A and B are shown apart, each in its own frame.
Chain A
Amino acid sequence: MQNSWRFLYIHLTLLLALLLNVMPLPAAVKLFRPDWPLLVLCYWVLALPHRTNIGTAFMLGFLVDVMVGTVLGVNAFGYSVICFVVAANHLKIRNFSVLQQSLLVGLLLALYHLVVFWLSHFLTGVYFRAAYLWPVLTGMIVWPYIFWFLRRTRRQFKIQ
C-alpha cells in the first residue's frame, strides 16, 4: 500500500471523529457525548508518536474550536496539553492493560475538561456544573472499543 494512503487513514479517522463530535443528537444524550477527536488522537499519539504529535493535536483542537464555537484556541490549548502528556509517557502507557489505560484516559479527559473550563471561565465567565464531566465517564467507557478498533485497522493497513 502507498505510504500517502496510510497517512490519509490517520486523518480520515480524525475527520470522522470530528464529524461525530458535531453530529446532531437528542438533547437527552447530548451531555454524554464522548470527546471523540481527543480519544482518537490519544490512540494515534500512543501508537505512532512520530506521525501524530503536538502539531496534529493543535490543528485538531483548532478545528474543534471552529466547529464547536468556543473561543478560538481554547480547545487547541487543551488538546496540546493532553497530547504532550501522552506523547511523553507513550512507552509506559502502551504497557498498561486496556482497563488501566481506560482509567488513565479518564484522568486525562478530566484534566482536559478542567483546562477548557478554566480558560472559558477566565474568558467568558461560564459557571461550573457537575454535568459537564459526563464525557469523562463515557470517554472511559468507549476507550477500549476505540483502542481495539483502531489497533485492528492499523495492523490491517500496516500503518507505522
Chain B
Amino acid sequence: MKPFFDRGPSLPLRLFIALLCSVGLITLDHYTDSSVQLRSYLTATVSPLFYLANMPQDMVFGASEQFMSQQKLIEENSRLKDTLLLQNGQLQRLQFLQQENDKLRALLGTSPVTEGQRLIAEVLAVYSHPFSHQIVLNKGSKDGVTNGQPIIDDLGVLGQVVSVGPSSSRALLIADNTHAMSVRVERTGLSAVAEGIGQSDALRLIHLPHSTDVEVGDRLLTSGLDGVFPEGYPVAQVIKVQRDARQPFLQVLAEPYAKLDRIRYALLVWPHRGTSQVDPQILEEMTPPEQGQD
C-alpha cells in the first residue's frame, strides 16, 4: 500500500493553510474595494464555462424552434405583428406626450428627462445559490456595459450590474440580500427603501413608521433618488402590510413584477445623459440599436 501524505505538509497543516487563505479571500472580497476589479477578471475567465453549461438548454430550445410546425409559426408571427402594431400606436401617443412634457418642463425651467439607450442581453446563468441572487449576462465592456448600470425586463426592474468582464457581466438582482433601492409608492408619492430578503418573490420596505399610508396592491416605482435606477420604472406590488405595534416599524412585503427566477433576456438601460456615471464618450461611440423604432 502506498503511504499517503508522504510528501508535503501534514493534513491539519494543509487545512490550516486553506482556511487561512479562505479567510484572506473573504476579507479581500468583502472588506476592500479591489474585489470589483478582481471579480471582473474572474468572471471573464470562467465565462467559457457558462457558455458550455448553457449549451444543452440552447440546443433544446433551438431544436424546439426548428421543429415547430409552420402553422404555429404563422400564428405566432401574426400575433407578434398585432402586438407590434398596438405598441407602435401607443408609441406615437407617447412621443406626443414626451414632446408636450419637454415643453412644459422647459416652461417650468427644469431640465428635460431624456431617454437613455438600451441594449438587449441574453442571460447566461441565473444563480442557483439561495444566498446570492445574481445573473450573468452575455454583454460586457466591449458593448459599453458599465458598473452600476440598471437592468430591466418587460415587466419591471431586475437589478443592476455589479461586475463587468470584456464579453460578459454579472448583475445583482433586486431580491438579493445585499441589494436595496429607493422606490416611490405610486398612489401617494411616498418614498421608501425596498430591500431584498433573499427570496425571488418578495422585497421588504424598511423603516416605515406605523402611520404610513400603504395598502395592499399599491404599485412601487423607482424614484430615481438612488442615482442608479432611472425614475418611473415599475418595481413591485405591495402584497402584505402588517401593523404590529410591538414592532418599531411597519412590516411591508412587496412582490417584484419581474419574474426573477426565470429570466432569459434582460434590457440594459443607460441612465439619462448628464446625471449618468457613464462616460459620455462611450454613449457617443455606441450605435443605438433601436433607433429606427424610437
Residues of A near B50 (CB, < 8 A) are 22, 67
Closest to B9 in A: A54
A33-B128, A117-B131 in contact; A19/B26 too (CB < 8 A)?
A: no
Q: A53 contacts the other chain (Cβ, under 8 Å)?
A: yes
Of A2-10, A71-79, A92-100, A150-158, the one contacting chain B is: A71-79
Q: B216 contacts the other chain (Cβ, under 8 Å)?
A: no
The distance from the CB of A84 to the nearest CB of chain B, in whole angstroms, is 4
The distance from the CB of A159 to the nearest CB of chain B, in whole angstroms, is 13
Q: B22 contacts the other chain (Cβ, under 8 Å)?
A: yes
CB–CB A54/B18 < 8 A: yes
- One of B14, B127, B200 near A69 (C-beta < 8 A): B127
CB–CB B26/A123 < 8 A: yes
Residues of B near A53 (CB, < 8 A) are 5, 11, 14
Q: B24 contacts the other chain (Cβ, under 8 Å)?
A: yes
Q: B286 contacts the other chain (Cβ, under 8 Å)?
A: no
Query: Total interface residues on A, using CB and 8 Å?
Result: 54
| Highest count of chain A CB atoms <10 Å: which of B57, B128, B198 | B128
Q: How far is the CA of A102 from the CA of B129 in the complex (A)?
A: 23
A70-B132, A72-B29, A123-B26 in contact; A24/B126 too (CB < 8 A)?
A: yes
CB–CB B18/A55 < 8 A: yes
Q: B222 contacts the other chain (Cβ, under 8 Å)?
A: no
Contact mask A80-99 → B, CB, 8 Å, 1/0? 11001001100000000000
Residues of A near B39 (CB, < 8 A) are 66, 72
Q: A127 contacts the other chain (Cβ, under 8 Å)?
A: yes
Q: B72 contacts the other chain (Cβ, under 8 Å)?
A: no
Contact mask B254-276 → A, CB, 8 Å, 1/0? 00000001100000000000000
In chain B, positions 11-52 with a C-beta closer than 8 Å to chain A are 11-12, 14-15, 17-19, 21-26, 28-30, 35, 38-39, 42-43, 45-46, 49-50, 52
The distance from the CB of B140 to the nearest CB of chain A, in whole angstroms, is 16
- Which range contains the number of B residues in contact with the other chain? 35 or more
Q: B170 contacts the other chain (Cβ, under 8 Å)?
A: yes
CB–CB B15/A129 < 8 A: no
Residues of A near B54 (CB, < 8 A) are 23-24
CB–CB A23/B15 < 8 A: no
Closest to B261 in A: A27
CB–CB A22/B18 < 8 A: no
Q: B214 contacts the other chain (Cβ, under 8 Å)?
A: no
Residues of B near A54 (CB, < 8 A) are 11, 14-15, 17-18
A22-B50, A66-B46, A70-B132 in contact; A27/B26 too (CB < 8 A)?
A: no
A33-B128, A81-B15, A125-B177 in contact; A58/B22 too (CB < 8 A)?
A: yes
CB–CB B130/A132 < 8 A: yes
- One of A33, A49, A80, A126 near B198 (C-beta < 8 A): A126
Q: B67 contacts the other chain (Cβ, under 8 Å)?
A: no
A66-B42, A66-B43, A125-B177 in contact; A72/B131 too (CB < 8 A)?
A: no
CB–CB B261/A76 < 8 A: no
Q: A142 contacts the other chain (Cβ, under 8 Å)?
A: no
The distance from the CB of B144 to the nearest CB of chain A, in whole angstroms, is 23
- One of B2, B5, B22 near A76 (C-beta < 8 A): B22
Q: How far is the CA of A66 from the CA of B170 in the complex (A)?
A: 11
CB–CB A19/B49 < 8 A: yes
Closest to A74 in B: B26
- One of B24, B49, B198 near A127 (C-beta < 8 A): B198
Q: How far is the CA of A124 from the CA of B29 in the complex (A)?
A: 12
What are 5 residue pairs bridging A and B, where the CB atoms are less than 8 Å apart in the complex? A25-B128, A27-B200, A67-B50, A76-B25, A132-B130
Q: Which residues of A contact B (CB under 8 A)?
A: 15, 18-27, 30-31, 33, 49-50, 53-55, 57-58, 61-63, 65-74, 76-77, 80-81, 84, 87-88, 116-117, 119-120, 123-127, 129, 131-132, 160
Give 10 nearest A-B pairs by CB, closest first: A73-B25, A77-B22, A72-B29, A80-B18, A27-B261, A73-B26, A69-B134, A54-B14, A69-B132, A73-B22
